[in-house]
Amino acid sequence: MKYIRTPRPKRQKSSIPFRLNFLFFVAFFLFAMLIGQLAYLQITNGARFATEVNRTGTTVVTGNVPRGLVYDSKGRIMVNNKANAAITYTKNIATSTDQMYKTANRLQRYITVDASNLQPRDERDYFLGDKNNLKKVNAQLSKAQLKKKGNALYQLELKVAARLMPSLTARQKQAAAIYKVMNGATQLSTVYIKNNNVTSKEVAVVGEHLTSLPGVNLGTDWDRSYPNGKSITSVIGTVSSEKSGLPREELDSYLANGYARNDRVGTSYLEKQYEDALRGSKSQTTVEINDQDQIVSQVQKFAGQQGQNLNLTIDSSFQNQVQQIVKKYYSQTLATGDASLSDGAYAVVLNPNTGAVLAMSGISRNPDTGKQTDDALGVINRAFVMGSAVKPAMVLGALQQGVISRSNNTQSDEPIYLKGAPVKKSIYPAGTFGAMNAQLALQVSSNIYMMRLAMKEANASYVPKSVMTMKPDIFSILRGHFAQFGLGTKTGIDLPGEALGVTGADYNAGGQLAVGSALDLSYGNYDSYPLIEMAQYVSTIANGGYKMQPYVVQSISQTLSDGSEGPVVSTTQPKVQSKVLSSTEDINFVKQGMWQAVHGTNGWTTATSLSDLNPGVAVKTGTAQTFSHGQETINTSLVGFAPAKNPQIAIAIVIPDIGQAADKAFFNQKIAHDIISAYYKSHHIAKDKGYSAHQTNMP
């Protein structure tokens, strides 16, 4: 009997696909790797990474140093740093607004600050500095508003604060003013809470409570002081305050050169021109900060170096004398009633052999209010029509052109009659001189002589009371002569802001050559020049034809650690800009004419009031017709050098817009006389034996 095996039932296939199993395997593998990495971090290298997290960061903090000083030519301090007690604040990295709020309120109890400039925004900032006030403000904002970030949220908070904030008391305003300074400080920077008029009591009380005033400390600040007078301060310039900091228009440039926003910098003239030298080198302190943003150590790496000093060519004593002389005679001019429309008076003294400025003096006056201010800078940045003071350059130009020579220079002194124009003549009556030579023309200041020189240089076709024709380049010819001596060109003095004068038009409104104006130019009654150009021009004549560049800074020196003046690091060398084309003989010929302007015996000699100076001097006076406030006025000027033989000084003077009657008071000559006399006395210039006021030949 056969048995039949019952068939084994088929096994049901797994319902989990292979790919899912593979994913499970990959997930298990990655999880195992993560466990291994955590074990590596926590067990194997846990200590090392903990140290890495807790280690300190290092940064370098800089500190300000005093600016360099300014000395005169005799080593006297003209600009010093006056130390003041100060209350300072250094902002830590982790400092919160609430901490500053509390510190400001505590500090307010001990000091008084100026809160007059507090703005509504400043008061709201102070109000929000209190975390409780901030919490109340934020409770007024919607959830959507609170999600905003940074300044957008803060602007909303300020608006709410304006509604919720009560009026601040006087004490709260004081605290708000302190908070404003603290809040404006950058991290790890030091700012001044109070640096003016800090009393000894405030210093003592704050010092006793420093432990409860985090970031607050006692320090010193400085202001510029002028122990030898302020007559030259307009030339020295100004320095910004710690509050005003860097000038906005040059902010990026200063920041790129390592300045902080609240650094003091020179904002004008010498202080600005020599900023790189005067600023000094900031102190450097290495500060270590832990992971909690707290300072753990401070080590000074460099104590800083006070700014370098400027040693000027100006003698402060002589400078003050010149300023007083100018003020004295300008006051006399005002007292006569002849200067009611005048806007100032100016004088400058140079060493003609080097270009060194020995004194710069100026008074600026507002004709409407009568207010006067010291304005030595007007010597370089104001220009005036100078009149006959330019005539020596005109004669030398004519000698260069060959239209006259030293042996053949006599011309007719008959006035010039142009068609449809007033007669052009000199100050003396027509017919006083039938003929005129060059030196006599300088002595009596003949306008006619200079105009006839211009006519010769222009190949003029002249018939009295008819149309005159000239070469069209006559203006270029005349201005070219003047420019050789520095008239109409910048001198290059080491001060910013030097101005050029105004050059008159060559052609009239009808497009015709302005021949009458060309004649006016020949005797100084057309173009205008700054006084520094006049000084350079007369120096060029005085030294025999070398145009020297004027300068104010003689040298730059270091400051030693004890505050005394150290070694010289740079010295200004006299610079010859050019040599005029005139020969030595021609220059001496013109010098003789300027000597005769002082020592001549003719009744029309222009500067005899200077003839008592011994040693004798050589000058040329000037008068130009001007208008001020719709009235006819004059500019009175003078250039000269002394002693006439081997000159040590060259001077230039101008008093603009005085009454015509004042010309006969000779205020320009009186100023020159006293300046030269003061120089002779202060420098012990010996008198010439046998000197005579009527010595007609220059020694």
Helix (H, G, I), strand (E, B) or coil at 2: coil
Contact (Cβ atoms closer than 8 angstroms) between residue 171 and residue 122 = no
> Per the structure block, which two tokens stand in for 81?
């740093």
Q: How many residues does the chain have?
A: 699
Q: Which residues contact 28 (CB under 8 A, 6 or more apart)?
A: none
554 vs 544: CA distance, rounded Å: 23
Contact (Cβ atoms closer than 8 angstroms) between residue 653 and residue 668 = yes
Instruction: Report helix angle 120-129 to 150-164, nearest 10.
Output: 100
Residue 365 host element (H or E): strand 357-365
579 φ/ψ angles, rounded to the nearest 5 degrees: -115, 125
Q: 538-556 as b/e, with b when 16 or more CB fall inside 10 Å? A: bbbbbbbbbbbbbbbbbbb
Residue 380 host element (H or E): helix 378-381
Contact (Cβ atoms closer than 8 angstroms) between residue 453 and residue 394 = yes
Q: Which residues contact 366 (CB under 8 A, 6 or more apart)?
A: 343, 372
Please report the sign of the dihedral spanned by the C-alpha atoms of residue 608, residue 609, residue 612, residue 616: negative
DSSP state of 214: T
196 vs 594: CA distance, rounded Å: 55
**Please, which contacts does 475-480 make with residues 24 or more away whose CB atoms are closer than 8 Å?**
475/506, 475/518, 475/521, 477/397, 477/401, 478/394, 478/397, 478/454, 478/518, 478/521, 478/522, 479/503, 479/521, 479/527, 480/397
> Per the structure block, which two tokens stand in for 633?
């006025």
Residue entry with tokens 């409407």: 368
576-579/411-412 β-pairing: unpaired
Angle at Cα 317 formed by Cα 237 and Cα 269, nearest 5°? 10
List C-alpha distances in Å: 83 to 222, 244, 428, 575. 4, 19, 61, 38
Contact (Cβ atoms closer than 8 angstroms) between residue 271 and residue 247 = no
**Displacement of CA 605 from its chain's centroid (Å):** 42
**Please, which contacts does 80-83 make with residues 24 or more away whose CB atoms are closer than 8 Å?**
80/224, 80/225, 80/226, 80/227, 81/222, 81/223, 81/224, 81/225, 82/222, 82/223, 82/224, 82/225, 83/220, 83/221, 83/222
460 vs 653: CA distance, rounded Å: 34
Q: Is 189 a catalytic residue?
A: no
Report the amino acid identity of residue 306.
Answer: Q
- Catalytic, out of 73, 234, 364, 388: 388
In 209-256, alpha helices (H): 233-236, 251-256
Q: What is the DSSP string of 43-55?
A: IISHHHHHHHHHP
How crowded is residue 601: how many other Cβ atoms within 10 Å of its Cβ?
11
Residue entry with tokens 């145009």: 547
* Enzyme catalytic residues: 388
